[in-house]
C-alpha cells in the first residue's frame, strides 16, 4: 500500500485554474478505477479554493504511473492539456500525504486559518468515495484519522474558537461596505442550495437578517427554504427581487453566470447601492459586475486578503498536533506493510518445520516421543522467529521496511504477498475495533 496525493490549492494556483481543474471532479475517482490503472483507491476533495486527489497505488514502483493516470483523467474530464494539468499539481508521497490532509482538515491551510467548514468537507469527501466504492482501506484510515486530528485541534487549541469561516469573513466585509450596518434591515438574495448556501443562511439569521430569498438554477430553492427558511425564487420572480436587493450572495457554482449587463438591466431603476458576494469557485457573477455603478464585489480573493491571522501560539500548537498525528499514522501504515513480510517468514519457517516433522512421523510413527519432538521443534521455531519479528517492527518504524523485505527475498527466496485491500464502510470513530486481517493476526501471534 502506497499513498500519494495531487494538490492544487489557492496557495499555489490561481482560483480560476483550480476551478477549471475541478470540472468533472465527481467523475475522476470512479473513472480512475474503471481504467484499470495503477490506482487501487481514490478520494477527491474539491472545495471553493482547492482540488485534491488522494490515491492508493499498488506499490512504490507504481507511484509515477498512478500520478500519470490521475493527470490523464483530470485532463479528460476538464478539457485541459495534460502538461498544464501536470504543472498545476504538487505531488505528495509518504508522510507528506497525511501531514497535508491533516493540516487541511484542521483548517491550517485555509484562506481563513482555523475555519471549521473544511472539516465537514473532508468527512463528506470520504463518504462520497465510500458510496462510489473508490475508497480503499488505506484511504479510509487516512481520512478518518484526518477527522480525528481536526477534532483534537479544535478541542486542544484556541484555533478557530472565534468561529471564523469564509462566509463569516465575507459578511464582515459586506458590513464594512454598507451604509446601514444592521442586517435586520437588509434584503438579501442567496444563489445556491448547497453546503455553502446552508452555512450562509445560518450566519445571516445569526445577524438578524429575516428578508432572505433563495434562487437555484436547478429548481431546488423550494425544498431548500422549506427546511431552512427564506423565500424561494423562480427564474421569473428573480429579476424583481434582485432590483430591490441590498446584498446578493453567490455560492451555487452554476454553469451560467450573471453578467454585468444583467445587473445593469435589473438595477436600472434602483438608486441604492448593491453588494455582491461571490463565493462560488467557478463564479456566479462575471468579474465585470464590479464596474457597474453602485455595485461592490467581494470575491474569495477578497476574503483571503481580509482574513485575520490567528495567534502564533495557537498555530504552533495546532501544527504540532498535526505533525505528531501524521508521524503516528505513517508509522502505523509502515507497520501494516510489514505484516505480510512477517507472515511470509512465519509460514516459510513453519512449512519447513512441518516437512521435518513429517519425516520424524514417517520414521517413528505416532508415538509419545514424536509428540515431544514436535513440541520442542515448534518452540524452537517461535524462538527463532522472535528477533526477526521485532526487527521487522523496528525497521518499519524507521522507514526501512524495504530493506527487510529485500533481505527475506535474498536469504530465503520469500516474496511477501501484497496486503489485501478491502473496500468497506468506515467504522464508527469511537466503536469497538475490528478483528483485523490475517496478516495482522498472524504477525501479532509471531
Question: How far is Cα 247 from Cα 272, in angstroms, rounded to an integer?
Answer: 11
Same domain? 142 vs 8: yes
Give 189-202 pLDDT, tens digit per residue: 999 888 778 889 99
Please indicate if the annotation marks 197 as binding a ligand. Answer: yes
Please indicate if the annotation marks 49 as binding a ligand. Answer: yes
Same domain? 267 vs 217: yes
Please check whether residue 430 lies inside any domain of the structure.
no
Please check whether residue 429 lies inside any domain of the structure.
no
Model pLDDT, residue 432: 40
Same domain? 68 vs 101: yes
Please indicate if the annotation marks 196 as binding a ligand. Answer: yes
Please check whether residue 316 lies inside any domain of the structure.
no
- Closest CA relative to residue 73, chosen from 117, 45, 122, 36: 36
Residues 6 or more apart from 360 whose CB is under 8 A from it? 370, 373, 374
Please indicate if the annotation marks 194 as binding a ligand. Answer: yes
Domain count of the fold of the chain: 3
Please indicate if the annotation marks 121 as binding a ligand. Answer: yes
C-alpha cell read off for 43: 478520494
Question: How far is Cα 119 from Cα 4, in angstroms, rounded to an integer?
Answer: 20
Same domain? 388 vs 270: no
- Closest CA relative to residue 136, chosen from 35, 26, 2, 336: 2
Q: Tens-digit pLDDT profile for the chain (446 aa)?
A: 789 999 999 778 877 788 889 888 889 999 988 877 789 999 999 987 899 999 999 888 899 999 999 999 999 999 999 999 999 999 999 999 999 999 999 988 887 777 788 899 999 999 999 999 999 999 999 999 999 999 999 888 877 666 677 888 899 999 999 999 999 999 999 998 887 788 899 999 999 999 999 999 888 899 999 989 999 999 999 999 999 999 999 988 776 789 999 999 999 988 899 999 998 877 889 999 999 999 999 998 888 788 766 666 788 899 999 999 999 998 888 777 667 777 777 787 788 777 777 776 676 666 656 677 777 677 777 777 787 888 888 888 887 888 888 887 877 777 776 655 544 444 444 444 333 343 333 343 33
Q: Which domain does 369 fall in, by range?
A: 337-418+438-445
Residue ending a domain, among 291, 306, 321, is 306
48 a catalytic residue: yes
Please indicate if the annotation marks 111 as binding a ligand. Answer: no
CATH code, domain carrying 53? 3.30.460.30
Model pLDDT, residue 310: 60
CATH code, domain carrying 197? 3.40.50.720
Residues 6 or more apart from 303 whose CB is under 8 A from it? 111, 112, 166, 169, 170, 173, 279
Same domain? 17 vs 149: yes
Select which of 48, 55, 209, 251 is catalytic.
Answer: 48
Same domain? 39 vs 148: yes
Model pLDDT, residue 433: 39
CB atoms under 10 Å from CB of 303, counted, come to: 24
Same domain? 22 vs 89: yes
Please check whether residue 322 lies inside any domain of the structure.
no
Please indicate if the annotation marks 115 as binding a ligand. Answer: yes
Same domain? 79 vs 191: no
Amino acid at each position: 500500500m502506497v499513498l500519494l496525493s495531487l494538490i492544487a490549492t489557492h496557495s499555489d494556483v490561481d482560483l480560476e485554474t483550480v476551478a477549471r481543474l475541478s470540472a468533472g471532479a465527481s467523475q475522476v475517482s470512479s473513472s480512475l478505477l474503471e481504467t484499470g490503472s495503477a490506482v487501487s483507491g481514490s478520494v477527491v476533495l474539491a472545495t471553493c479554493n482547492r482540488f485534491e486527489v488522494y490515491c492508493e497505488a499498488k506499490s512504490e514502483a507504481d507511484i509515477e504511473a498512478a500520478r500519470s493516470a490521475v493527470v490523464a483523467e483530470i485532463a479528460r474530464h476538464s478539457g485541459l492539456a495534460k502538461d498544464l494539468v501536470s504543472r498545476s499539481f504538487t505531488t505528495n508521497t509518504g508522510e507528506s500525504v497525511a501531514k497535508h490532509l491533516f493540516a487541511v482538515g484542521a483548517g491550517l491551510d485555509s484562506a481563513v486559518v482555523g475555519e471549521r467548514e473544511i472539516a465537514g468537507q473532508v468527512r463528506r469527501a470520504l463518504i462520497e468515495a465510500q458510496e462510489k466504492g473508490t475508497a480503499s482501506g488505506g484511504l479510509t484510515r487516512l481520512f478518518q484519522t484526518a477527522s480525528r486530528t481536526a477534532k483534537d485541534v479544535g478541542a486542544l487549541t484556541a484555533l478557530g474558537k472565534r468561529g471564523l469561516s469564509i462566509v463569516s469573513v465575507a459578511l464582515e466585509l459586506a458590513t464594512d461596505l454598507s451604509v446601514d450596518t444592521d442586517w435586520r434591515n437588509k434584503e438579501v438574495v442567496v444563489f445556491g442550495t448547497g453546503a455553502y448556501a446552508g452555512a450562509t443562511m445560518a450566519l445571516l439569521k445569526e445577524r438578524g437578517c429575516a428578508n432572505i430569498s433563495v434562487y437555484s438554477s436547478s429548481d431546488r430553492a423550494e425544498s431548500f427554504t422549506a427546511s431552512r427558511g427564506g423565500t424561494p425564487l423562480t427564474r421569473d420572480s428573480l429579476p424583481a427581487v434582485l432590483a430591490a436587493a441590498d446584498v446578493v450572495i453567490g455560492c451555487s457554482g452554476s454553469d451560467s453566470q450573471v453578467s454585468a449587463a444583467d445587473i445593469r438591466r435589473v438595477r436600472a431603476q434602483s438608486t441604492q447601492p448593491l453588494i455582491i458576494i461571490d463565493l462560488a469557485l467557478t463564479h456566479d457573477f462575471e468579474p465585470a459586475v464590479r464596474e457597474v455603478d453602485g455595485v461592490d464585489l467581494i470575491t474569495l480573493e477578497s476574503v483571503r486578503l481580509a482574513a485575520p491571522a490567528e495567534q502564533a501560539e495557537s498555530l504552533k500548537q495546532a501544527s504540532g498536533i498535526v505533525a505528531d498525528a501524521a508521524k503516528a499514522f505513517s508509522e502505523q501504515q509502515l507497520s501494516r506493510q510489514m505484516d505480510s513480510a512477517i507472515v511470509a517468514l512465519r509460514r516459510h519457517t513453519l512449512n519447513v518445520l512441518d516437512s521435518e516433522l513429517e519425516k520424524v512421523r514417517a520414521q517413528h510413527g505416532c508415538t509419545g516421543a514424536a509428540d515431544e519432538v514436535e513440541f520442542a521443534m515448534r518452540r524452537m521455531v517461535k524462538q527463532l522467529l522472535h528477533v526477526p519479528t521485532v526487527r521487522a517492527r523496528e525497521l518499519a518504524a524507521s522507514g526501512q521496511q524495504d530493506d527487510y523485505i529485500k533481505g527475506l527475498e535474498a536469504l530465503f527466496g520469500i516474496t511477501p504477498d501484497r496486503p489485501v485491500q478491502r473496500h468497506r464502510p468506515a467504522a464508527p470513530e469511537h466503536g469497538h475495533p475490528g478483528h483485523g486481517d490475517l496478516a495482522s493476526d498472524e504477525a501479532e501471534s509471531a
